[in-house]
Amino acid sequence: MKRRFVLVDVFGDRPFAGNPLAVFPEAGGLSDGEMQAVAREMDHPATSFLLPSALPGAAFRLRIFSREREIPFAGHPALGAHYVHATENRLPLTEPLTRVAHEGSEGLFQVELKVDRAEITLLRLKQRLPVAGPKWSTDDTARLSRALGLEEEEIAATNQPARVVSTGLPVLIVPVSTLDALGNARPRYGELGEMLSGRSGEPGEATIVYAFTKETRDARAAAHARAFDAIGSVEIPGAGAAAGALATYLVAQAAITILPTTSLVIEQGHVLGRPSTISVEVQVKEGKVVQVVMGGKVIKVGEGELEV
């Protein structure tokens, strides 16, 4: 049986930048094992499968697989899936915003399509409200620095804690003092996986380490980040769920200027030659985060068929 797929780049401003994604717009009838095998064959950080949904308000049901496992929530697979769904089905687009939603593992997820002259120029995903774990201890942070191939001082000098934060997907946020230090990080994925596994008191078990510095290549960016997948033993060029978590971390740490609606940009992927630009909007009311919205561009780069 042949299954059509569409290849897109998410968070890039041109083809072959950002995070590559394969989207299967008609995945109904595929078993879990087949979807996992397909994701392994496509060999991207993630593959999106669109299935029919019976949930009111959902345009489709979204399932996301990496090379190794199913992922309950992720940013770039959701944005890419909506772009492909809208373009493949010639979705009626209302300017300046078209609102849609999909069914995920935890119910309905809202997405906005920014539209200009009948073209989708940006997609934005509403994430879950942040949940943060405890600050990692000095001993844990020292071990973490070694696992990342960093000097202990390169984390300690930030005066900010490493901690797990989730806005739908738990990620370990790690502050790094300088752009050069972050660029020189060489993670030992086995050690990272051991450190993340089975920790109590966290908002779920993190598998992504999101290291960042406030030194940036672009003066308009709030942070420069690198995402390390401890299970896949690979770096991810653009991690939307992690960027959302980082944005709430920066707000909680008062590490940026906080407004009722704080808009910021996270840059990522430069070490891999796939620069990503991720926008995040954090709304705060009476000192509490009440909404997190992450967004970016999506560009189609190809299509084809796979025999399953």
Let me know the angle formed at the C-alpha of 141 by 137 and 222, rounded to the nearest 5 degrees: 110
Same domain, 94 and 179: no
Same domain, 36 and 17: yes
What is the extent of the structural domain holding 233? 131-293
What is the CB neighbour count within 10 angstroms for residue 57? 12
**Residue pLDDT, tens place only, 257-290:** 999 999 999 999 999 999 999 999 999 999 999 9
Same domain, 135 and 16: no
* 200 band by pLDDT with thresholds 50, 70 and 90: confident
Give percent above pLDDT 90 in the chain.
Answer: 97
Whether pLDDT at 106 is above 90: no
Same domain, 184 and 239: yes
* 295 band by pLDDT with thresholds 50, 70 and 90: very high
Same domain, 120 and 137: no
157-179: average pLDDT: 97
Whether pLDDT at 46 is above 90: yes
Per the prediction, the chain carries an average pLDDT of 97
DSSP 196: H
Q: Which of 210, 163, 218, 202 is nearest to 185 (CA)?
A: 210
* 244 band by pLDDT with thresholds 50, 70 and 90: very high
Task: Using DSSP bridges, classify how beta strands 70-71 and 61-65 pair: parallel, antiparallel or unpaired.
Answer: antiparallel
- CA separation for the pair 165, 112 (Å, rounded): 24
Same domain, 148 and 233: yes
Whether pLDDT at 308 is above 90: no
The contacts of residue 228 (CB under 8 Å, 6+ apart) are 148, 187, 189, 192, 208, 209, 210, 211, 234, 235, 236
Contact criterion met (CB below 8 Å) for 79 and 10 = yes
CATH code, 78: 3.10.310.10
Q: Is the dihedral of CA 229, 6, 112, 13 positive or negative?
A: positive
Q: Can you give the pLDDT at residue 198?
A: 87
Q: Structural domain tally of the chain? A: 2
Whether pLDDT at 137 is above 90: yes
Same domain, 177 and 220: yes
Same domain, 69 and 150: no
Q: Can you give the pLDDT at residue 116?
A: 96
Same domain, 178 and 275: yes
Give percent above pLDDT 70 in the chain.
Answer: 100
To the nearest 10°, report the CA torsion of 85, 37, 34, 110.
-30
Q: Can you give the pLDDT at residue 297?
A: 98
How far is CA 72 from each of CA 60, 66, 75, 284, rounded to the nearest angstrom?
A: 15, 11, 11, 26
Same domain, 143 and 101: no
223-227: average pLDDT: 98
Q: Can you give the pLDDT at residue 1?
A: 86
Same domain, 224 and 90: no
1-8: average pLDDT: 96
- pTM exceeds 0.85, yes or no: yes
Q: Can you give the pLDDT at residue 125?
A: 98
244-257: average pLDDT: 96
Same domain, 61 and 196: no
DSSP 11: S
How far is CA 287 from each of CA 119, 130, 161, 165, 290, rounded to the nearest angstrom?
A: 37, 13, 20, 18, 9
